[in-house]
Amino acid sequence: MLSSTLLNIAEKVQAGERLSFEEGVALFETDQVAWLGHLADSVRRRRHGRTTFYNVNRHLNPTNVCYWDCTFCSFYRKAGDPEGYTYTVDQAVAEIRPSYEAGITEIHIVGGLHPTLPFEYYLDLLRGLKTAFPKIHLKAFTMVELDHFKRITRLSEDEVIDRLVAAGLDSCPGGGAEIFAETVRKQICKHKCGTNRWLDFSKRVHLKGLRSNATMLYGHIESLADRVDHMIRLRNLQDETKGFQCFIPLAFYPKDTELAHLPGPTAIDSLKTIAVSRLMLDNFDHIKAYWVMLGRQTAQLALHFGANDLDGTVSGGGPLVATYSLDGAAQCKSTRDDIVQLVLDAGLEPVERDTLYQPIHPVQRETEVVCA
């Protein structure tokens, strides 16, 4: 039996009305999971029908050396650690080449905040990749990295963005948002760029005409109210700029982190989070079920809980992808056929997209993609 609050929410959703903070929390608190999924699915189908996007992409993590110490992160290494690495531009190009030849359309680039690499390194990296692979979309650097570039160069935000664009930047990924609630941020990433800086940099990126994504790291020490608060802060900025392409809830993966004592989110929690985000983020076109962190099976179910995008093949993995792969490092890449089959088996229609969500038609492809 649904409460009057939930019945009222369903009516608002069907009428296309915006949900409040309290309503978002009520959605998280309900145990009517099938009802919640159905409601989110109705919004997903109204917007996208059976269309389910994926792309053929590759992650590149130019360095794992980082001077901060986020408690949820097992990827970073301190400078001098024997497991630390930093690619030269030539190494990065060589690393990408096989995926390029296999037909990727996007390189997703994020890395640690290296204590000594100059801004010029990152510009050279973009230039080197753009020269070697001119048609590939470079989705590079989170708002945390842009903030780092601003601090090491003392340039303005706009100058940082302009120089990156001149070197080949096409759009930005959504990482580093974690959880916006300041009390939680203080505990899990106290040194990292703050909430307002993250949001402000996103705004400036959007005002420059670039698109970016937004993530939320959930399933650690945050409350359900913190998750709804996070979504509403993004929704407010999206009202202003319309620059976010998609929202990606990232399921916390505790292994080898300082928070390894935590269990991480359950599948039900992940499905509810996808559904609530679809319902709260009425001005976001796309909700992404990032299969690497959710695991393939939960990601597939998420397509019936409001998600309409699976991210990409992430071919060749990359160390960060391997670190957080729920299905195990060996399973952190999929062929195009794997993803297509996952969507078909969910009774939905797979559509390959480019980074900006334009469908890629098979005739546009010069080669068949085999990305394993």
* Residues within window 245-274 making contact with ligand V47, judged by CB under 6 A: 248, 250, 252-253, 257
User: Which residue in the set 290, 299, 305, 348 belongs to the binding site for ligand V47 (CB under 6 A)?
Assistant: 290
82 CB neighbour count, 10 Å cutoff: 6
Query: Which segment (71-79, 126-134, 266-274, 333-341) binds ligand V47 by CB under 6 A?
Result: 71-79
CA distance 288 to 273: 11
Q: Is 171 in the site for ligand V47 (CB under 6 A)?
A: no
Under the binding rule (CB under 6 A), the answer on residue 311 touching ligand V47 is yes
Handedness of CA 274, 224, 202, 296 (dihedral sign): negative
Binding mask 135-154 for ligand V47 (x = CB under 6 A): -------x------------
217 belongs to the binding site for ligand V47 (CB under 6 A)? yes
Q: Give the nearest residue (CB) to ligand V47.
A: 175
Say whether residue 55 binds ligand V47 (CB under 6 A): no
Q: Which two tokens stand for residue 220?
A: 């650690």
Query: Could you give the CA distance from residue 221 to residue 185 in angstroms, rounded to a whole number?
Result: 10
Residues 6 or more apart whose CB falls under 8 angstroms from that of 131 comprise none
Q: Which range of residues in 14-22, 123-131, 150-158, 170-178 is near ligand V47 by CB under 6 A?
A: 170-178
Stretch that binds ligand V47, among 25-33, 67-75, 146-154, 269-277 (CB under 6 A): 67-75
The closest alpha carbon to 162, from 110, 123, 212, belongs to 123
Query: Of 2-10, 93-101, 212-220, 334-342, which part binds ligand V47 (CB under 6 A)?
Result: 212-220
d(CA 53, CA 226): 28
How do strand 286-287 and strand 309-312 relate by DSSP bridges? unpaired
24 binds ligand V47 (CB under 6 A): no
* Count of residues interacting with ligand V47 (CB under 6 A): 22
Per CB under 6 A, 73 contacts ligand V47:
yes
Residue among 82, 139, 120, 66 nearest 74 (CA): 66
Among 64, 105, 215, 334, binds ligand V47 (CB under 6 A): 215
Question: Among residues 286, 299, 350, 287, which one has the least CA distance to residue 326?
Answer: 299
Rounded distance between C-alpha atoms, residue 352 and residue 235, angstroms = 27
Q: Which stretch binds ligand V47 (CB under 6 A): 174-182, 225-233, 265-273, 363-371?
A: 174-182
**Which residue in 173, 243, 265, 316 binds ligand V47 (CB under 6 A)?**
173
- Which of 310, 297, 295 lies closest to 55, judged by CA? 310
CB 287 within 8 A of CB 274: yes
Find the shortest distance in angstroms from Cβ 203 to ligand V47. 17
Answer yes or no whether residue 326 interacts with ligand V47 by CB under 6 A: no
Phi and psi at residue 215, to the nearest 5°: -115, 170
Q: Of 37, 175, 243, 316, which one interacts with ligand V47 (CB under 6 A)?
A: 175
* Residue 213 is a binding residue for ligand V47 (CB under 6 A): yes
Task: Rank residues 142 and 163 by Cβ distance to ligand V47 and give the closer one.
Answer: 142
Token pair recorded at residue 110: 């994020």
Q: HSE-up of 25 (CA within 13 Å, CB side)?
A: 8
60 interacts with ligand V47 by CB under 6 A? no
Is the Cβ–Cβ distance between 132 and 93 less than 8 Å?
A: yes
- Residues contributing to the site for ligand V47 (CB under 6 A): 72-74, 110, 142, 173-176, 178, 213, 215, 217, 248, 250, 252-253, 257, 290, 293, 311, 324
